[in-house]
Amino acid sequence: MMVFKNADIYTMDHKNPHIADGYIRTENGVITAVGKMKDYQKKQDETERDMKGRILMPGMMTTHSHFYAQFVRGIMADLKPVTNWPQTLTRLWWRLDEKLMPEQNYYSAMLGMIEGVKAGTTLYFDHQASPGAIDGSLDLLEKAAREVGVRAALAYEVTDRGGSEGAKAGIHENVRFIKKMKQNTDDTVRGMFGLHAIYSVGEETLEACAKEGAAIDAGFHIHIAEGYEDVAECYRRYDESVVSRLLRAGILNDHSIAAHGVFVTEEEMELLRDCGVTVAYNAQSNTNSGVGIVPVVPMLNKGVHVALGGDGYSADMFRELSVACMLQRLKSGRPCEFTTEQTYQVAFDNPGRLAEKIFGRKTGVLKEGAYADFIAVDYDAPTPICADNFLGHMLAAFSGKVAMTVINGKVVCENGKCTFVDEEKIFAECRKQAEILWKSIGQE
């Protein structure tokens, strides 16, 4: 048992949003009590951590990440300029992921996770791609997750771009890993069933994924309508929309993720709402790729479960949320767009709801029975702060101020240093592995 005491707690629980001088008790990875210090009594064999008045809040979550993409930072390889979305895939991502070897999959994941926990990100729904090293790739990500101490749902993206053998290997990796994780007694790592996108997955492979996934009650994780080419190809091949085709295949349900949705129609929004799928909104990545702005506010107004994602672009979900909010205001031309309630839904409620489906318990909220996934923030508010304006302070100032990250009741990062891993040693190896990878794609 561990207690985090003398904390200024913002719970994200509408019934009990703020405890000015409080404590959180954790046991076996779960919150067993959240209360006021005046009611606190130390129990026997209990370890105490004095938070000295720091803010405690739920950890940040990403419902769409790519650990494999981390070595693209500062890439020095001979890459032709990219002028549209399909070229971004063929000239950068698909050249890069095809060369990833097991060591690079592992170290790239370690980099993504270490930077994530330092930034206060506690939960990751990851989508892996390494066509040259498919078998066992999710085990390497699992190893990294356990070493750093993060909560993660891992999927391998099935695609037909490497022919039917590659697709079969991807399906096998998903099924094998999901089954393995179902037998695991701890609930920090889970498997999901990944598919790349409808334009890179043929009909036969799509049907095979749906069948294999349904047999093990898997949640799926797929990109939808990230570029307009996805929409056009779906109409050309099936004469129907992306969402409609994926629904008919059985890929979209209440424990699945559809990432992006830049080009979804009003009709598709209603289908997304009705099936209960989580739509991962990746504002910085969409901006960087120049694909467009996801119609998040219309989706939220219709009741679609939109949740924050990073798409491998950023591990700092505070910064991501700030851009997410600003883009919606830019798109609509209205400074009041993307309300406080919608910010809460996208950052906490909807990712937490998905976590409950995949891992079994709530997260994104500090209350009894939820996972003990939370962060301490070093923030001496220069203007009044309370439950009603907390998210305003958070959006403006919390990026870079995470003092402690707790996942499953364990302090995995404190004062900018990871607890369980030697990050200097790992980053030195990351630099080596990134260089090998860059050379391998530059020599083509």
Residues that bind Zn ion (CB under 5 A): 311
Comparing CB distances to Zn ion, the nearer of 49 and 221 is 221
128, 105 Cβ separation under 8 angstroms: yes
CA distances from 359 to 3, 212, 217, 406 (A): 23, 20, 13, 17
Comparing CB distances to Zn ion, the nearer of 142 and 311 is 311
Task: Compute the least distance from the CB of residue 95 to Zn ion, in Å.
Answer: 16
227, 198 Cβ separation under 8 angstroms: no
Comparing CB distances to Zn ion, the nearer of 128 and 405 is 128
Task: Compute the least distance from the CB of residue 222 to Zn ion, in Å.
Answer: 10
Comparing CB distances to Zn ion, the nearer of 97 and 268 is 97
Distance CA 355, CA 218 (A): 14
Closest chain position to Zn ion (CB): 311
CA 271 to chain centre: 23
What is the distance between the terminal CA atoms of the chain, rounded to a whole angstrom?
A: 55
Q: What does the radius of gyration of the chain's CA atoms come to, in whole angstroms?
A: 21
Distance CA 150, CA 113 (A): 7
Comparing CB distances to Zn ion, the nearer of 128 and 408 is 128
Number of other residues whose CB lies within 10 A of the CB of residue 354: 28
Task: Compute the least distance from the CB of residue 296 to Zn ion, in Å.
Answer: 16
Comparing CB distances to Zn ion, the nearer of 311 and 373 is 311
Comparing CB distances to Zn ion, the nearer of 114 and 129 is 129
> Which residues have C-beta within 8 Å of that of residue 421, sequence separation ≥ 6?
110, 114, 147, 148
Task: Compute the least distance from the CB of residue 261 to Zn ion, in Å.
Answer: 12
CA distances from 222 to 126, 155, 234, 275, 290 (A): 11, 10, 14, 15, 20
377: tokens are 């923030």
Phi and psi torsions of 326, nearest 5° = -65, -40
Task: Compute the least distance from the CB of residue 105 to Zn ion, in Å.
Answer: 16
Task: Compute the least distance from the CB of residue 127 to Zn ion, in Å.
Answer: 6
Task: Compute the least distance from the CB of residue 199 to Zn ion, in Å.
Answer: 14
Whose tokens are 């701890």? That residue is: 186
Distance CA 188, CA 409 (A): 11
